[in-house]
Homo-oligomer: A and B are copies of this chain.
């Protein structure tokens, strides 16, 4: 984790930017998820990248990792922390802004292969 920024925006970007983090946060926004569920939801992600991104989010206090079972095969569940949920409003606004912008640029497309962030609005 980088420890010096020029303003709060960079600090926030340091947490949510990462190739897979928006998608991961989107899924975890729905409900806690097991590792295998996340892999199923994000078919293109590799095991290494999933673990890595989740580790970074955990280190940043955005998600929590819970291990169930004393011996393998473990059941590992990831869920948003309170800090992670506090990002929700920002993510929703970014989602709305991005969607609006995409709808005005014909050459830009968003693959709505899953729910997106607006579901958080309805709670």
| A interface residues, tally (CB under 8 Å) | 45
Give the oligomeric copy count: 2
Tell me what chain A mostly uses at the interface: helix, strand, loop, or mixed: helix
Which residues from chain A sit less than 8 Å from chain B, CB to CB? 1, 3-13, 15-17, 22-23, 25-26, 83, 86-87, 89-91, 93-102, 107-114, 116-117
Minimum-distance CB pairs A-B, first 7: A8-B98, A11-B98, A8-B95, A8-B99, A12-B98, A12-B94, A9-B22
CA distance A110 to B4 in the complex (A): 6
Show 11 residue pairs from A and B whose CB-CB distance is below 8 angstroms, ordered by the A residue. Answer: A4-B111, A5-B98, A5-B110, A7-B98, A7-B99, A8-B102, A11-B110, A12-B98, A13-B13, A90-B94, A93-B93
